[in-house]
Amino acid sequence: MKFKHGISSLIAIVVIVVIIGAAVTGAYLFLGTKSAATTTTSQTTTSLGSSSATTSSSSQSSELTSSSSSTSSSSTLSSSSALSTTSTSASSSTSLASSTSSTSQPSTSTSSQSSSTSLTSTLSSNSSVLPFSIGDATTALGLNSSTTAPINRTSFFSINDSQVVSWVNFTNVPSPSHNVTFVWFSPQKSIYYNQSVIIPDPGAGSFWTSYMVYDLIFVSGHQAAQMTGTWEVDIYYNGTKLLTQTFTLNATVPTSRLTISDSAISATLNSTSKTLINRSLSISVNDPSVYTWVNFTYVPSPSHNVTFVWLTPQKTLYFNTSITIPDPGAGKFWYSYSVYDDIFVQGHQAAQMTGTWEIDIYVDGTLILRQPFTIQ
């Protein structure tokens, strides 16, 4: 079953201030402080049988008019898809012995490679710390220079794009310090570049509520632009691989590549705002559901089809569903349009399929974002 809500508005602004303090160390920029853990909110979900729900909320903005545009939808849940369900996300068992130290990135310019972190906080005792996890992660076209949040999330890049950013937000990071290493693999599965950054010790009895780390490679005018195909970024935490991100580097990008301002995975959905609570890429077999959520901005005419394809740890199709972003009208655009999908976990087949899952998100038939998560 699918639900949709249409909201008309001229502008929507959400300002989140999370940066306190700054210290610069070498090539890395560290921003932030320590914070108390937030209380997990339990959200009751409505049973929808064995299929998932897709919800979208939107605000329409236009220089010509601010009139409302009502939307409606019908349920369309299918067990098959015209899209290919073959996953190209490869896993590597390459030893970190050759990649834990920083190496020079192949480049045709003197521009330096950089990684950065950002965090939020107030002092707190470890006694109330929620479990350590990856709260959010993505590849993107860029970063907000003030918040280091990703801009234009995507898994589909062009050789004309200036860079590919790999970004991770760790949550509830305990003492002591921790090493995070990004290992970039080319389509030929050879190491292209690697970089490490240290998450500093928050101090005895304290923890980092949120600690964001990113790494990037340059594309246009650099060696990477000659290496089209499916790339992989393996992210290690203290020598253990926690996450694999895959992205495609192509000669061109489709004109339909919509701007993704935000995306997330969580076990909890706010039933009122239709946004996710307590983002995490780690889902328990005891969680009722797992949700994927995507927010598009400045979505132009005409209508667009968004398809969620859920792949099991064995890279087989588990479920897929589609939703249509309606046409905002000639000369108009959706300022913000969010969609979500979910599958049941506890008491369902997914709970028996532990490991790393993947959600492939297509817009108008083109894969634009991959979201990995684990059920454990």
Mean pLDDT of 93-102: 29
Mean pLDDT of 336-359: 97
- What confidence tens digit (pLDDT) does each residue in 173-206 have? 999 999 999 999 999 999 999 999 999 999 998 9
Q: Which two tokens stand for residue 203?
A: 């101090």
Lowest average pLDDT, out of 31-35, 103-107, 185-189, 252-256, goes to: 31-35
Nearest Cα residue to 34 out of 111, 108, 123: 123
- What confidence tens digit (pLDDT) does each residue in 40-87 have? 222 222 222 222 333 344 443 332 222 222 222 222 222 222 222 222
Residue with token string 């508005």: 9
For residue 98, what pLDDT is reported? Answer: 28
- What confidence tens digit (pLDDT) does each residue in 235-293 have? 999 999 999 999 999 998 766 678 999 999 999 999 899 999 999 999 999 999 999 99
Nearest Cα residue to 186 out of 219, 137, 153: 219
Confirm if 102 and 194 have CB atoms less than 8 A apart: yes
Residue with token string 């997990």: 40
What pairs with residue 367 in β-bridges? 362
CA 94/CA 99 separation, integer angstroms: 9
CA 158 from centroid of its chain's CA atoms:
19
Predicted TM-score (pTM) of this structure: 0.68
Q: Determine what percent of the chain is predicted with pLDDT higher than 70.
A: 64
Q: How confident is the model at residue 319 (pLDDT cuts 50, 70, 90)?
A: very high
The domain limits of the chain are 2-38+52-375
Give me the half-sphere count of Cα atoms (radius 13 Å) on the Cβ side of residue 302: 2
For residue 255, what pLDDT is reported? Answer: 63
CB atoms under 10 Å from CB of 125, counted, come to 11
- What confidence tens digit (pLDDT) does each residue in 113-162 have? 444 444 433 334 444 445 788 999 999 999 998 889 999 999 999 999 99
For residue 254, what pLDDT is reported? Answer: 66
What pairs with residue 74 in β-bridges? none
CB atoms under 10 Å from CB of 16, counted, come to 8
Nearest Cα residue to 218 out of 267, 157, 278: 157
- What confidence tens digit (pLDDT) does each residue in 287-314 have? 999 999 999 999 999 999 999 999 999 9
For residue 333, what pLDDT is reported? Answer: 94
- Which stretches does DSSP call E strand in 190-255? 191-199, 207-218, 229-237, 240-250
